[in-house]
Amino acid sequence: MIDKDRIPKAILPALEAKLQGREDEINFPPPVFDAMKGEVIDFDMEKESLTNKFPVLSEHLNPYGSMQGGIIAAAIDNTIGPLSLLVSPPSFTRYLTVKYGKVVSPELGYVYVIATFIGKKKRQLFFEAIVQDSDGNKLASAKATHWVID
């Protein structure tokens, strides 16, 4: 089910075109996105990019008080996955590699994930993502390969 109240108007036409009347079969945003309290910030169809915002929550901290790496990876996956739904054929994540650069502390408040569709080769789809703070400082980066479902 599409939550039209939480999705920027720029996304709705692309999403409705992709789903072609199957809106009841897909949860957009997905439940895990809601659990992480994610927010869709921007979608650029020309650049094939999606930007999402995620709060640094206390329940997502590691023993050192910074955001756990797996939660950062989940924020990335929660941005690349919806982008893939918007710009490519149905697919699933085959590989996701994350390079962590800086500590994500609660003082940052939020992280922003900017995902971009890079291209397609046969049944493989390629995506990249950057995780940054509100000042644009790069915190992590990722590359993903998706496999098109036949």
The per-residue pLDDT string of the chain (150 residues; one tens digit each, 9 = 90 and over) reads 677 777 777 777 777 787 776 767 777 778 899 999 999 999 998 999 999 999 999 999 999 999 999 999 999 999 999 999 899 888 999 999 999 999 999 999 999 999 999 999 999 999 999 999 999 999 999 999 999 997
Q: Is the alpha carbon torsion for 87, 127, 102, 63 positive or negative? A: positive
- Domains of the chain by residue range: 12-148
The DSSP line for 72-121 is HHHHHHHHHHHHHHHHSSSEEEEEEEEEE-S---GGG-EEEEEEEEEEEE
Contact 85, 117 (CB under 8 A): no
| Matching CATH number, 12-148, of 3.90.1010.10, 3.30.750.24, 3.10.129.10, 3.30.930.10 | 3.10.129.10
Tell me the C-alpha distance between 41 and 117, whole Å.
Answer: 17
